[in-house]
Structure 1
Amino acid sequence: MNTIIKITRSTLSTLFILLVLLVSELGLSSCAQNDLEIRQNFPFEISVMPVPKNIAKDEYVEIRIKIHPEGNFEDTQYHLRYFQFEGTGKLQYYNTQPYFPNDSYRLFEREFRLYYTSTSDVSQSFTVWISDTFGNEKKIEFQFNSKKANGESHAIELMNI
């Protein structure tokens, strides 16, 4: 009878160990199957406050821009570049040096102000591209008409593309 009890205790111990191993294996495999997906790439929209309708030579216009991402990934970096295709002028961030056309400049804030200064007497058009580290990009087009000496007001076009 002692032999039967010893076998039963030995068998129970073995079964208990197998059960513990089986439960731990199921727990580990379920963790591996439910990997948490971390999203980093969030598309964004741009809003621009209204700007004056016309500009004269040597005048400047303040352009307020805000980036609205769909989500928040703190390591996302935003960059700005611009190209002027009609007239001449200077675009700059606050009191920094004016931007060079088609060069990329890092933006350190999602809400910022640019200053455009006219250097010509004719209409002026330029585009601003804002992109992020994941290849998302938005284009904003500005078109200023030259301010006439008689004070006439001309429309400005602002298009989000």
Structure 2
Amino acid sequence: MRKILKIALCTLSLIAITGACSDDIDIKQDYEFEVNHLPVQKSIKKGETAEIRLELVRSGRWEGAEYYMRYFQPDGTGELKTEDDLIFKPNDLYEISKETFRLYYTSQSEDQQVIDLYFLDNVGNMVTLTFSFNNEPDEGEQ
């Protein structure tokens, strides 16, 4: 009888152990990222364009990762566009298709200008960059 009890307990233990396993594989999708940039000029005249070179740096790779950008301009007036001449509209969401890319900001104001760039991924991570430009009057202007 004890032998049968031991076999039954071993069988139940084996069932409990194998039953606890799952076929679900946990695939990591939530990788942090950052956006690096080269130095950007601080002064800009009305009508002048500043180049902003950016690089998306991911802490890990997931094939289904998607990245987006939107921008706001809390101070001043200007135009932000891509190297392919796509002009951004404030607060609209744009997909980022390359890990290194350039943006071009053209001043349309004689006041100080500030642009905020928001980078997001499809799992909720976000990175923010802010660029400030001061108006640079010509020498002799007051």
64, 67, 70: which one pairs with 2:53? 64
- How many pairs align? 127
Question: Unmatched 5+ residue regions in structure 2?
Answer: 1-10
Give CA deviations for 1:68-95 in whole Å, capped at 9, x if unaligned: 1110012111000000011100001113
Q: Is 1:122 aligned with 2:111?
A: yes
Query: TM (normalized to structure 2)?
Result: 0.81
Alignment correspondent of 1:135: 124
Give, as a single letter, the amino acid of the residue that structure 2 aligns with 1:119: Q
Query: Which consecutive aligned stretches of 4+ in structure 1 deviate over 2 angstroms post-superposition?
Result: 28-37
CA–CA separation in structure 2 for the residues paired with 1:46 and 1:104: 17
Question: Unmatched 5+ residue regions in structure 1?
Answer: 1-21, 152-161
Shift of 1:36: 3.8
Secondary structure of 1:81's partner? strand
Q: Is 1:106 aligned with 2:95?
A: yes
Shift of 1:117: 0.5
Shift of 1:44: 0.8
Give, as a single letter, the amino acid of the residue that structure 2 aligns with 1:127: D
Q: Is 1:43 aligned with 2:43?
A: no
RMSD over aligned Cα atoms: 2.2
Higher RCO structure (Cα 8 Å, ≥6 apart): 2
Alignment correspondent of 1:55: 44
Shift of 1:96: 2.4
Alignment correspondent of 2:67: 78
Q: Structure 1 132/147 Cα, relative in aligned 2: closer, same or farther at 3 Å? A: same
Give, as a single letter, the amino acid of the residue that structure 2 aligns with 1:60: T
Shift of 1:142: 0.8
CA–CA separation in structure 2 for the residues paired with 1:95 and 1:111: 13
Alignment correspondent of 2:4: none
Query: TM (normalized to structure 1)?
Result: 0.72
* Structure with max Cα Rg: 1
The percentage of aligned residue pairs carrying the same residue is 35
Between Structure 1 and Structure 2, the one with more helix by share is 1
CA–CA separation in structure 1 for the residues paired with 2:104 and 2:57: 21
CA–CA separation in structure 1 for the residues paired with 2:44 and 2:19: 65
61, 75, 78: which one pairs with 1:89? 78
